[in-house]
């Protein structure tokens, strides 16, 4: 979960820098791709996480 939140923060920071700084639009694109990959990773982890743990 920490990795998910860290990647969200990095994606938002890259997006802000990419929109504010002139000529750094590629950072916005990298931030969007990173955010999409992070959300995909989170949905895959949440959907498959319930089957792996057995009650003790």
The domain ranges of the chain are: 2-45
pLDDT value of position 54: 64
From the CA atom positions of the chain, what is the Rg in Å?
15
Q: Which two tokens stand for residue 27?
A: 């950072």
Q: Does residue 31 contact residue 15 with C-beta atoms inside 8 Å?
A: yes
The closest of 27, 50, 30 to 38, measured between CA atoms, is 30
Question: Do the beta carbons of residue 19 and residue 28 sit within 8 Å?
Answer: yes
Confidence class of residue 49 from pLDDT cuts 50, 70 and 90?
Answer: low
pLDDT of residue 22: 78
Indicate whether this model's pTM tops 0.95: no
pLDDT tens profile 21-42: 877 878 888 888 888 888 888 8
- Residue 48 sits at φ, ψ, to 5 deg, of -95, -5
Residue 50 in this model has a pLDDT that exceeds 70: no
* DSSP secondary structure code for residue 22 in this structure: T
pLDDT at 52 over 60: no
């Amino acid at each position: 979960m920490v990795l998910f939140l860290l990647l969200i923060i990095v994606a938002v920071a890259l997006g802000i820098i990419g929109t504010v700084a002139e000529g750094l639009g590629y950072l916005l694109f990298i931030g969007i791709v990173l955010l999409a990959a992070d959300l995909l990773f989170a949905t895959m982890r949440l959907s498959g996480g319930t089957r792996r743990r057995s009650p003790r």
